[in-house]
Amino acid sequence: MTDPDWVRHVIWWQVYPLGFVGAFPAEPAPGADEHRLLRIVDWLDHALELGASGLALGPVFSSRTHGYDTTDHFRIDPRLGTDDDFDRLMDECRRRGLRVLLDGVFNHVGTDFARYRAALDGGPKDWFRFGRNGFGTFEGHGELIALNHDNPDVVAYTVEVMDHWLRRGAHGWRLDAAYAVAPQFWQRVLPEVRRRHPDAWFLGEVIHGDYAAQVAAAGYDSVTQYELWKAIWSALNDKNFHELDWALQRHADFLRSFVPLTFVGNHDVTRIASRLDDVRHLEHALVLLLTCGGTPNIYAGDEWAWRAVKEDRAGGDDAVRPEFGAPPGEPHDVLRLHQYLIGLRRRNPWLHTASTEALTLTNTGYVYRTGADGHALVVALNVDDAPLRAALPEPGRVVAGSGAPPSERVEHLVVPPHGWVIVDYG
């Protein structure tokens, strides 16, 4: 494993800046003089109160539309503000002890990228891939022009972009569409960036395939754990914990070589509160996220059980990337549960590499042991209309769960219908 030491303790609170501050979609688009990026500063204390220790930012670099059509990797998007606004945000994060993860698009660029415009005007075209019909694109999107990753100048450019913003205060990079880039490119880029910034962390966006092999080939520290994300909501909806257990066995295999980024929501998927058929099982999804191994990511808004559906159409992401106003002042049960479970995890940093083992497994009942480094918790999940009864391998202390369970040491569990319980062996 190549994770820097600080990653063992990080819990990301993820923000999609252009939507968060109302900069996209917006007509007319805001100008740099509105300094909208600074609106995120007003939310940093909320991130701390939630229990997060890192801010994962979506795209902040100059682009025409959604941020993933980068125009200039060295310039803050004027719809968000200025370089000085970015420095202020970094200072405010640093003052609160929040790490910062940036979102870098190095597979493709937007059609206003200067070298692409020059290539269209007859200049050198060697920065870009070509297909049978001209310039290559990302997954057929004509506004996203694919870079030529065999070009040493593209390698050097990517290194300099990463270095520039790490020197400005960032702690790591999410590598957008990393799955579409040949691993040899990352093999040339990441070692040089690590040489300059040995404490930096690199997350590859990978949706499917052999995660461990891709980490080994490319040299990422981590990848996005979409397998587990899908298994969590699917198993809860279908009342099929066998699917979840299979995914957690795979997850345990991954943890032997790297620690994935785990999540139940992000800027690219339907919000978990809308994805689940039974809102009672939102708690189960969160319990799973925060008691399994991984580097957890909380997508802003999920802590209030916000709802939104991603649609496969132009503008179909907008609903899951809304504008945020002032932080809500009213307490909320789902927010309090986030705070409790994040607190539990931060008190038990060994959960970062914890693997799970099924103790009881039926379609509707799942009791698993999660452990590492001689520590363990037992978690019981019930999605049935009847109570779940289970014997524990040894007596433990109930520390959280449905129905205000006893805090004394117990040998047997009775989990209420659609409830859950966590037992501590510390």
Write out pLDDT tens, residues 2-60. 799 999 999 999 999 999 999 999 999 999 999 999 999 999 999 999 999 999 999 99
pLDDT digit string, tens, across residues 132-166? 889 999 999 999 999 999 999 999 999 999 999 99
pLDDT value of position 407 = 74
pLDDT per position as a tens digit, 262-292: 999 999 999 999 999 999 999 999 999 999 9
Could you read off the pLDDT of 202-259 as tens digits, one per residue? Answer: 999 999 999 999 999 999 999 999 999 999 999 999 999 999 999 999 999 999 999 9
pLDDT surpassing 80 at residue 308 = yes
What is the model's pLDDT at position 133?
Answer: 86
- What is the CATH code for 7-353? 3.20.20.80
Q: Where are the domains of the chain?
A: 7-353, 358-424
Point out the least confidently predicted range of 86-100, 316-330, 399-413.
Answer: 399-413
Model pLDDT, residue 327: 83
Least confident among 253-257, 326-330, 394-398:
326-330
SS (H, E, C) the chain: CCCCHHHHHCCEEEECHHHHCCCCCCCCCCCHHHCHHHHHHHHHHHHHHHCCCEEEECCCEEECCCCCCEEEEEEECCCCCCHHHHHHHHHHHHHHCCEEEEEEECCEEECCCHHHHHHHCCCCCCCECEECCEECEECCEEEEEEECCCCHHHHHHHHHHHHHHHHCCCCEEEEECHHHCCHHHHHHHHHHHHHHCCCCEEEECCCCCCHHHHHHHHCCCEEECHHHHHHHHHHHHHCCHHHHHHHHHHHHHHHCCCCCEEECCCCCCCCHHHHCCCHHHHHHHHHHHHHCCCEEEEECCHHHCCCCCCCCCCCCCHHHCCCCCCCCCCCCHHHHHHHHHHHHHHHCHHHHHCEEEEEEECCCEEEEEEEECCEEEEEEEECCCCCEEEEEEEEEEEEEECCCCCCCEEEEEEECCCCEEEEECC
Q: Is the pTM of this model over 0.85?
A: yes
Per-residue pLDDT at 406 exceeds 70: no
CATH of domain 358-424: 2.60.40.1180
Average pLDDT over residues 370-392: 97
Quick one: pLDDT at residue 326?
Answer: 87
Q: Look at residue 409 in the predicted model and tell me its pLDDT.
A: 87
